[in-house]
Structure formats: structure tokens, C-alpha cells
């Protein structure tokens, strides 16, 4: 925490307020791509624009996707959860702010672009206009309006670019694309796959690939720009300013897969032998946690500005209706009356397992033991209710 605070303080010292000025022929503009970090917030990398003019001692870097910390943590968390947190563009001295990424051991890739002086000034003036208070803030969207897409938009608007088609375009879905980044953080991968609905399970176009900084850099490497001498490569120089030191990543022992398969095995065992006291506790935890999860998913779908949390088929198994089961966990009698209800839910989860791959949403394989656990417990309730008849 102290390290994070020191970085924030350091970056504040590096803040600049650029003004429109006449650049010289030595001016150049480039794309800065920061590699993935160790935590969820930095997992997908970062993109920024660098403008350098040695003759007037100018070296600036413009970042989209920054935001102000609210001292009221509850209010900040609510805004973030609702998708109403406003992001902004910021400008810094290059060397000062880039040190932050070296300390975090993240790669720094510098791509100088084939832009003439007039184009550089046009883009810089547009960035400065965006820094004005009335233009600075925007509503962030991870897939369609982030630090990389904003940079791609400003270059496409002011330059005659011919974007190359990346080999991964129309090959993978949004979910498959981000899954590769989340593989090293299985709990983050688990959470993302629960929260995001079926809208991210379509093929991603070439233009949409630019929401990831690494893809934007690769597409620009293959792209061309129309200049006075005809079409030329958009990237004139490509270099690594910092290559991360290889660090051994400790694999997580208690991954979601390990835990939920163990839970399923335990539930199967106690259900087979009918340990009533233990099953009561297990049922209470199971139905309460999945019922509350269902409420959160409904709120993300219906009560927030997050577009990609809609149409979430995880509500089939993480559903508020599980909270209804808490009555039966502790109540005696009347279970026979609801025999058909238990039977219906048993069949629903059996159907879900059999038809898993036919649904329009790709499910995380970690969800399988959870659904199996639900199937076992609802079948247990159905069997017991029939015996009560």
C-alpha cells in the first residue's frame, strides 16, 4: 500500500499542463505500450501517446483511462460497481511517469510513427483540447472505450491510416481473448466469467481487437499511412525501452477448480450417507451464497451501466431462487408439497450439464462442479420429499 501511495505522489509531481505551441522539425510522435501487470487492474496492459521535440525540450506522454480517487471509499466503490465512474485524460512528463512502470517490472514498448510535423501538431492540439475540463471526462467501457481505443480513435480521425488485419481478427471471441491474460490469475478469471454475459461470446473484429494495447501495437506494426511519397509503414522505429525481469510466479494452491471439485466430492459423500447435521450446514452455505450471487448478477445486468453484464446465462445456476431453499433447510414438514419443485430443479441442472455447450454463452469449466453440487443436493431434496409422501 505504501508503495502504491508513493507512486501516486510521484506521478502527481510529473503532471504537466501542455499548451499549444509551435513544434520544430525535430518533433516526433509515438505509441507507448505498457505490458501486463501483476494485478487485475493492470492485467491487460496500457496504451499512451508520446510526443517529443528535443529542440524545445518537450517530452510528454498522454494517458487515457486515468481517474481520480474519491476519499469516500464507499461512494467510489458504488460508482465503480455501477459503471458510472468517470475516467479522464492526463498528461505527464515522459521520463517521470514511465519510471512507475519500470518499478512495476512491466515491459515498455516504444513505436515511433510516420507522421509529419503538421500531423503531429494536429494530434497534439486535439489531445490538449481533450484536457479541457469540459472534454476531459468520459464514461469508461472496458471493451469499447478504454485507454487503447481512445488512442486508436484519435489516430484514425486525424490520419489517413490503412489498418492491417490481424490474424486473430474474427477468430476468437471477446471472452477467449481476455482469458489468455487471466490464466495466471484463476480467481480473477472465475469472477470475470461469472459477471460477464453472453454478449462477449461473439467473434471479435479487427477494429475491436484494438481494445487490448498489445493488439493495437501489433496492428500498427503491420499498417500503412498515406504520405506525400505514397503509402509507407506506419511504424518507423520499434524498440523496447524496458524488458521485464523474469520473475517466478507462485502458482495458486487453492484455485477455484481445486476448491469446487473438492466441495462437490464432499457434498456427494455426505449426501450418500445422509449426515443430516452436516448437510444442513452445507445447504445453508450453498443456497445462501448462490442466491446472493444471483442477486448481484441481476443488479449488474439491470441496475448498472455495464453493457456486457447483460444476457448472463450464469443466472441459470447462480439464481436468487436458491434463497427460497433456506426455508426448507430449517423448516420441518411441507417438503412433500414441493416435490415437483425439487424435481424440476433437478431436471434443470441435469439439462444444463447435458446441453452445456449448446447454450449461447461460454461457461468457465470451474462452474461444472458447482452445477454438479446443485444437482446432487436438489436430487437429495426431491428423493426425501417423495419418501415423505
How confident is the prediction along the chain (389 residues), in pLDDT tens digits per residue? 333 333 443 444 456 677 778 999 999 999 999 999 888 878 999 999 999 999 999 999 999 988 776 666 667 666 766 777 789 999 999 998 889 899 999 999 999 999 999 999 999 999 999 999 999 999 889 999 999 999 999 999 999 999 999 999 999 999 999 999 998 889 999 999 999 999 999 999 999 999 999 999 999 999 999 988 889 999 999 999 999 988 766 667 789 999 999 999 999 999 988 788 899 999 999 999 999 999 999 999 998 888 899 999 999 999 999 998 888 887 765 566 678 888 899 999 999 998 888 999 999 999 999 999 999 999 998 888 776 55
Q: How many residues does the chain have?
A: 389
Residue 68 domain boundaries: 2-170+205-242
Co-location of 85 and 224 in the same domain = yes
Does residue 183 contact residue 175 with C-beta atoms inside 8 Å? no
Last residue of a domain, which of 242, 264, 289? 242
168: alpha, beta or left? (left if phi > 0; alpha if psi -120 to 50): alpha
Q: Does residue 213 share a domain with residue 113?
A: yes
* 76 lies in the same domain as 149: yes
318 and 365 assigned to the same domain: yes
Distance of CA 52 to the CA centre of its chain: 31
Residue 5: what pLDDT? 34
CB 60 within 8 A of CB 93: yes
- As a whole number of angstroms, the distance between CA 88 and CA 96 comes to 19
Note whether residue 89 is domain-resident: yes
Going from the C-alpha of 127 to that of each of 36, 124, 166, 176, the distances in angstroms are 25, 5, 27, 33
Asked whether residue 223 falls in the same domain as residue 312, the answer is no
Q: Which long-range contacts (CB under 8 A, 24 or more apart) does 225-232 make?
A: 225/113, 225/114, 225/115, 225/159, 225/160, 225/161, 225/162, 226/160, 226/162, 227/114, 227/116, 228/116, 231/162, 232/114
Q: Is residue 72 part of a domain?
A: yes
268 and 225 assigned to the same domain? no
Residue 294 lies in a domain: yes
Burial class (CB in 10 A: 0-12, 13-18, 19+), 40: middle
Q: Is residue 164 part of a domain?
A: yes
The contacts of residue 133 (CB under 8 Å, 6+ apart) are none
**Long-range contact pairs involving 328-332 (C-beta distance under 8 Å, separation at least 24):** 328/381, 329/280, 329/283, 329/284, 329/287, 330/280, 330/284
In a domain, 249, yes or no: no
Is the Cβ–Cβ distance between 5 and 74 less than 8 Å?
Answer: no
User: Cell 491474460 maps to which residue?
Assistant: 181
Strand order across the beta sheet in which 108-113 lies: 137-139, 86-93, 58-66, 46-53, 28-34, 108-113, 235-242
Residue 19's pLDDT is 76
Q: How many separate domains does the chain show?
A: 2
Residue 330 domain flag: yes
Compute how many other C-beta atoms are within 10 angstroms of the C-beta atom of residue 161.
18
> Which cell numbers in the block locate residue 268?
456427494
Three cell numbers, residue 351: 439439462
pLDDT of residue 190: 94
Helix and strand counts by DSSP (H, E) for the chain: 14, 10
Same domain, 373 and 270: yes
pLDDT at position 286 is 96
- The closest of 70, 116, 64, 57 to 87, measured between CA atoms, is 64
b/e sequence 181-197, b meaning 16+ C-beta within 10 Å: bbeebbeebbebbbbbb
Residue 234 shares a structural domain with residue 269? no
Q: Both 223 and 262 in a single domain?
A: no
Is 303 found in the same domain as 156? no
Q: Of the candidates 242, 269, 288, which is a domain's last residue?
A: 242
Does 236 lie in the same domain as 262?
no
250 assigned to some structural domain: no
3-state secondary structure 316-339: HCCCHHHHHHHHHHHCCCCCHHHH
Q: Are residues 309 and 371 in the same domain?
A: yes
Domain-located, residue 185: no
Amino acid at each position: 500500500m505504501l508503495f502504491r501511495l508513493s507512486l501516486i505522489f510521484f506521478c502527481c509531481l510529473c503532471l504537466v499542463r501542455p499548451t499549444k505551441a509551435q513544434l520544430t522539425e525535430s518533433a516526433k510522435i509515438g505509441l507507448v505500450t505498457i505490458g501486463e501487470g501483476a494485478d487485475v487492474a493492470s492485467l491487460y496492459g496500457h496504451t499512451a501517446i508520446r510526443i517529443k521535440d528535443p529542440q524545445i525540450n518537450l517530452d510528454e506522454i498522454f494517458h487515457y483511462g486515468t481517474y481520480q480517487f474519491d476519499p469516500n471509499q464507499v461512494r467510489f466503490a458504488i460508482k465503480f460497481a455501477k459503471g458510472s465512474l468517470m475516467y479522464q485524460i492526463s498528461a505527464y512528463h515522459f521520463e517521470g511517469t514511465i519510471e512507475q512502470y519500470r518499478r512495476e517490472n512491466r515491459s515498455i514498448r516504444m513505436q515511433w510513427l510516420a507522421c509529419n510535423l503538421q500531423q503531429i501538431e494536429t494530434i497534439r492540439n486535439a489531445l490538449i483540447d481533450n484536457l479541457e475540463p469540459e472534454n476531459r471526462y468520459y464514461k469508461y467501457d472496458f471493451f469499447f472505450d478504454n485507454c487503447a481505443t481512445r488512442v486508436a480513435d484519435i489516430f484514425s480521425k486525424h490520419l489517413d491510416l490503412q489498418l492491417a488485419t490481424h490474424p486473430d481478427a474474427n477468430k476468437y471471441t471477446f471472452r477467449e481473448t481476455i482469458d489468455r491474460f487471466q490464466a495466471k490469475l484463476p480467481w480473477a478469471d472465475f469472477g470475470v466469467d461469472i459477471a460477464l454475459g453472453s454478449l462477449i461470446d461473439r467473434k471479435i473484429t479487427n477494429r475491436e481487437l484494438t481494445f487490448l494495447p498489445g493488439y493495437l501495437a501489433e496492428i500498427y506494426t503491420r499498417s500503412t499511412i498515406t504520405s506525400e511519397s505514397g503509402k509507407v509503414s506506419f511504424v518507423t522505429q520499434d524498440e523496447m525501452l524496458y524488458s521485464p525481469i523474469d520473475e517466478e510466479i507462485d502458482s495458486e494452491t487453492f484455485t477455484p477448480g481445486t476448491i469446487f471439485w473438492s466441495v462437490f466430492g464432499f457434498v456427494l459423500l455426505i449426501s450418500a450417507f445422509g449426515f443430516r447435521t452436516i448437510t444442513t450446514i452445507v445447504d445453508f452455505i450453498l443456497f445462501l451464497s448462490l442466491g446472493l450471487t444471483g442477486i448481484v448478477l441481476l443488479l449488474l445486468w439491470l441496475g448498472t451501466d455495464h453493457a456486457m453484464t447483460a444476457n448472463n446465462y450464469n443466472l441459470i445456476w447462480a439464481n436468487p431462487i436458491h434463497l427460497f431453499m433456506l426455508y426448507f433447510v430449517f423448516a420441518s414438514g411441507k417438503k412433500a408439497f414441493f416435490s415437483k419443485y425439487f424435481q424440476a430443479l433437478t431436471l434443470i441442472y441435469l439439462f444444463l450439464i447435458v446441453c452445456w455447450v449448446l447454450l449461447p454463452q461460454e461457461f468457465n469449466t470451474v462452474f461444472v462442479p458447482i452445477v454438479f453440487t446443485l444437482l446432487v443436493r436438489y436430487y437429495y431434496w426431491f428423493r426425501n420429499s417423495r419418501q415423505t409422501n
